[in-house]
Structure 1
Amino acid sequence: MAQLDHSASFCFNPLEHLGRVSPYLEPRDAQPSSPDAPQGCTVARAAYLSRHGAINVNDDDYEDWIEPFLSKFQNHTGTDWTKISPLNFLVDYVSPFALGAEPETPTRIGELEAAQLATDITIQYPNLIIPSRVWASSPPRTSISGQAFARALQTDNNPINLISVTEGNYGGANSLVPYQACPAYREGNDEAKTYRELFTKPIKARFNSLAPEYNFTTTDVVGMLLLCGYESYADDIRYHYDVGYGNPLSGTIGFPWFNATAELLMRESDAEDLYVSFSHRTLPTMAFVAMGLFNNSAFGGSAETINDTMPLDRINPRRAWRTSEITPCLGNLAFEKLACKGSYGFTDGDYYRALVNHAPQPLPGCTDKPGSSCSRSSFEAFIQERAGMFSRFSQRCQVDYDNSTDIVSFYED
């Protein structure tokens, strides 16, 4: 009997595993759900929170990893790379970034991604009125994405005004980057450092056996990986502890946007059919926590052991928190208000659902209507439950400045 070659069907595509530097992709669930409205339902209103489109490089990536590697590499003359087969590509390697490059500059691809989102929304919601406003945080990478989106969506008869939401350390929750105004917030770099040292150890040993005079370090390896646009599990760890379930303030920082957006959707009537905002990778992921999405412990474990689901000494292959899928460049979180009539087995009414990168995501315990959507009464109860867990931004963030706020009001201002 011939043996089956189980490896023949294995295919690893690194473009689907790039961490926070990933290009836009939609999750490939084992049981994918259609982004179309359920039978008998139409979308009556929608709200989107999107990360900006592609940029040339993140500032912390460049300053902490890429620039140190490039400086060392370009000043090193003691290795003949032509004689080292696995590394001979370094003979004529030219960096896409000049030393001293300005980080976070939006790219043309990033603008096209934002324009494509406008096209996708036009196709998905043919009956919604074009909005009069789009919101974006103030830095170029977000505002330019907002401008590109608005240009692609607006018409001569329906111009769109881009509203800039100022970033800062004293705005309370009323921001598209509210973590900056949370004094108690801390990043998750320490945990990621622990894993980086672990996974780079065999790589450094192999490279240094080939070119001992170069003395490859963790910084060199991570810098090279970032230059190649590829990262590993370290990003999932960093953002688990940075803006995910491993940070006790993530839900508190993400809840005000979720709460304000839910109120916009539940209004009986509104001037806008569509709300679209552009921010950074932080707010959408913190909103995921506030909503209970991509929770590693949802089907086992407990909140007390949530960090056990993201260990620092090995990879959890069954984790739900995958940075490449949930927050790539232009990754987006959407809420829809569904007007349903004649859905088989369900009463008529307004229902609500969430989507991430156009893939429907059931809200925990709030899936009593078609397509795992949520009735208004259940949605209101869900919001109250999450408020009990994550409200009181100013108190929990230990705000030490005047005029803080616990709510998002810029959609009304």
Structure 2
Amino acid sequence: MAQLDHPASFKLLSLFSLIPHAWATLYSPYAFDPLKHLGRVSPYFEPRDAQPSSPDAPQGCTVTRAAYLSRHGAINVNDDDYEDWIEPFLSKFQNHTGTDWSKIPPLNFLANYVSPFAPGEEPETPTRIGELESTQLAADITIRYPSLKIPSRVWASAPDRTFFSGKAFVRGLQTDDHPINLVSVVEGHQGGANSLVPYQACPAYHEGNDEAKTYREIFTKPIKARFNSLAPEYNFTTTDVVGMILLCGYESVIRGNSPFCNLELFSPDEWLGWEYADDIRYHYDVGYGNPFSGIIGFPWFNATAELLMRETADEDLYVSFSHRTLPSMAFVAMGLFNNSAFGGTGAAINDTMPLDRINPRRAWRTSEITPCLGNLAIERLACKGSYGFEDGDYYRPLVNHAPQPLPGCTDGPGGSCSRSGFESFIEEKEKMFGGFSQRCQVDYDNSTDFVSFYE
């Protein structure tokens, strides 16, 4: 015991007492969840950033008005995903009898596999999970803004998947004393910017989908080789692999889980390969790789900013449900998730999304920014007594509850944007992206550059 009285002995004991903590920190088990890396098919989740900012209002600030733009909740399956990838795989699999799948792990589950889609079922039918997600969003907003009055209206684009999400949200938010009117915003090819799907009214806009093919073939090549070595008579193709990956997401929503999510079927690196291929697609489709993204997304941002800056407004909360396209395009109009924002290299934006290898440091990650029910919020903050800042109104966006600083306007509490800075920010973005009708080369009468359906 006398030896323990030596100072060095106490140091040694102290060191050993830290080992359990160090072991947990340095050697914590590796965990990977495919559902958080499925791109457009990812169910809603809130990513944990390397530097997570608190979603609470900054010290001395109170939210006095807010606007939300949300993607619809989970659905059975998207039409294009089903027709282009899933149905071809399922049809081929169901008509193939030359393989005894039960003897081929990890594909042995296919021996008794049954499609999650009922015959004759509408592919884009909203699921119960999707409705629960929307109701949960209503509960979150109720808790988040206890002092804001319940809105009298909520807006949704016309298709079932968005309208049903709006309906479920209204059910979760309204009370007997405060009914809410769900307003259907008609989609059309001649409505100008006054829509929740304005890309349809922009003749010059073209989807960017071809670019993703290059990396899709790169990441599926070893998968096809591996599967074909196990079942050479089946001849796995890129369509089969993508169909299986998409089934992981859609089937998990329908049934609660899916054998296609098995990490023995696709490794974490292979899931990350799919995620990057999808990020390439939406970079060129609705992101910074499409020259019309900011033009189409700006009218919603401009109208929303104007509603938030008014002295008085009809609502404390403005909530809208759309597809993944408009929130993504609004991100571009606002300069959010720009891969080049801190680059300083002068590289073109498309160079940040190479087609032959993954950019692991990209900000544009579809799984995180537009999962099902992914949402963009902009808050108006009334701040008083915030140390180091003048009293007044400030503004900040949040994406899936995570605050996002506006590039070049972080002069307020918690990285928010002052009113004068916000006004200048909007003027700058209008110079970059204003003029929807002219820049979209509208060829029909009665177009508009503005969103007015909130009035």
* TM-score bucket (shorter structure): over 0.9
- Relative to structure 1, is the Cα distance of residues 374 and 202 closer, same or farther in structure 2, using a 3 angstrom cutoff? same
Question: In the alignment, which of 70, 80, 92 is matched to residue 50 of structure 1?
Answer: 70
Question: 2:384 — aligned with what?
Answer: 341
Question: In the alignment, which of 373, 390, 393 is matched to residue 350 of structure 1?
Answer: 393
Contact 2:275 2:367 in 1 (8 A): no
How large is the RMSD of aligned CA atoms in angstroms?
A: 1.6
Deviation string, structure 1 residues 157-185 (Cα, Å, up to 9, x no partner):
11100000001111111000001111111
| Map 1:88-127 → 2, pairs under 5 A | 88-98=108-118, 101-127=121-147
Q: Does 1:370 align with 2:413?
A: yes
Contact 1:49 1:333 in 2 (8 A): yes
Q: Does 1:186 align with 2:229?
A: no
- Relative to structure 1, is the Cα distance of residues 50 and 251 closer, same or farther in structure 2, using a 3 angstrom cutoff? same
| Map 1:211-230 → 2, pairs under 5 A | 211-229=231-249
Q: Does 1:295 align with 2:338?
A: yes
- Relative to structure 1, is the Cα distance of residues 338 and 173 closer, same or farther in structure 2, using a 3 angstrom cutoff? same
Q: Distance in 1 between matches of 2:83 and 2:345?
A: 37
SS, match of residue 355 in structure 1:
strand
Deviation string, structure 1 residues 17-40 (Cα, Å, up to 9, x no partner):
111111111121111111111111
Number of equivalences:
410
Q: Distance in 2 between matches of 1:225 and 1:259?
A: 38
Shift of 1:228: 1.3
Q: Which protein has the larger Cα radius of gyration, Structure 1 or Structure 2? A: 2
Q: Distance in 2 between matches of 1:212 and 1:204?
A: 10
The one-letter amino acid of 2:97's match is T
Question: In the alignment, which of 321, 324, 328 is matched to residue 281 of structure 1?
Answer: 324
Superposition TM-score, scaled by structure 2 size? 0.88
> What runs of 5+ residues in structure 2 fail to find an aligned partner?
1-22, 250-260, 262-273
Question: 2:3 — aligned with what?
Answer: none
Contact 1:51 1:329 in 2 (8 A): yes
Q: Distance in 2 between matches of 1:96 and 1:342?
A: 56
Q: Distance in 1 between matches of 2:64 and 2:297?
A: 24
Shift of 1:155: 0.8
Contact 1:309 1:319 in 2 (8 A): yes
| Map 1:154-169 → 2, pairs under 5 A | 154-169=174-189
Question: In the alignment, which of 371, 379, 398 is matched to residue 328 of structure 1?
Answer: 371
Contact 1:26 1:357 in 2 (8 A): yes
Q: Does 1:36 align with 2:56?
A: yes
- Relative to structure 1, is the Cα distance of residues 204 and 162 closer, same or farther in structure 2, using a 3 angstrom cutoff? same
Q: Distance in 2 between matches of 1:261 and 1:321?
A: 23
Q: Distance in 2 between matches of 1:10 and 1:384?
A: 47
Q: Percent identity?
A: 83
SS, match of residue 314 in structure 1:
coil
Moved more, 239-248 or 81-90: 81-90
Question: 1:385 — aligned with what?
Answer: 428
Shift of 1:232: 2.4
Superposition TM-score, scaled by structure 1 size? 0.96
Question: 1:78 — aligned with what?
Answer: 98
Q: Distance in 2 between matches of 1:396 and 1:271?
A: 32
Q: Distance in 2 between matches of 1:303 and 1:331?
A: 31
SS, match of residue 382 in structure 2:
strand
Contact 1:47 1:275 in 2 (8 A): yes
Contact 1:337 1:350 in 2 (8 A): yes
Q: Does 1:18 align with 2:38?
A: yes
